Copies of this chain bind each other. A is one copy, B any other.
Amino acid sequence: MARAGLDTAAVVRAAAELADEEGVERLTLAALAGRLGVRSPSLYAHVDGLADLRARIGVDACRALRDALAAAAAGRAGAEALRAVAGAYRAWALAHPGRYATVGAELASAQTVREAAAGVVEVMLAVMRGYGLEGEDAVHGTRAVRSAVHGFVVLEQQGGFRMAADPERTWERMLTMLDRGLRDPA
């Protein structure tokens, strides 16, 4: 029987794609094995069970998200950086719903994901410095922006914006609120 030639990275990547396409809840070892042309016990050679697989997806997702944010922030400051980073965050989350949901789910349970998520926060803290915020002020600002953006993205993905008003306009206004709040912290 021909070998599929898998390794951990390939398994995790395929799992992330499966989660994005079918939804996190339908990411099962059986489905993943089927997609890879392999029996499910074979996956244990590359990954230590479903929980480990999910944690690995979360770590990879955090790094990819951080890279996307860092690219968006490059060469910008202040309101421009805020809008670029927030837009990149939203775009990445919408493009990779399964990966993004995994980060949220694993944040509470997987230490490795928490550490990887710190990289995302790093980029946001850098944006705060562009507003002249340091130390605790920067933390408060980062948390507020992260809360708003995360909440918006989650609600948008869940189809939470069903009333007759353009979500793009809501997004714009929310960013304006955040920008003004960061410019003049209470």
Contact = CB atoms under 8 A, between A and B. Distances in A.
B181 A144 contact: no
Classify the secondary structure of A's interface with B: helix
Interface in A16-36: none
Contacts of A152: 143-144, 147, 151
Interface string A151-173: 11011011111111101011011
Q: How large is the interface on A (under 10, 10 to 19, 20 to 34, 35 or more residues)?
A: 35 or more
A62 to B, nearest CB: 12
A73 B8 CA distance: 53
Interface string A175-186: 011101100011
A180 B178 CA distance: 10
A115 to B, nearest CB: 10
A136 interface: yes
Interface in A97-130: 104, 107-108, 114, 117, 121
Contacts of A176: 181, 186
Contact of A143 (B108, B155, B178): B155
Contacts of A161: 143
Nearest to A163: B139
A106 to B, nearest CB: 9
A149 interface: yes
7 contacts: A108-B159, A121-B163, A136-B169, A140-B169, A144-B152, A151-B151, A177-B178
5 closest cross-chain pairs (CB), A and B: A151-B151, A177-B181, A147-B151, A147-B152, A139-B165
Interface of A: 104, 107-108, 114, 117, 121, 136, 139-141, 143-144, 146-152, 154-155, 157-165, 167, 169-170, 172-174, 176-178, 180-181, 185-186
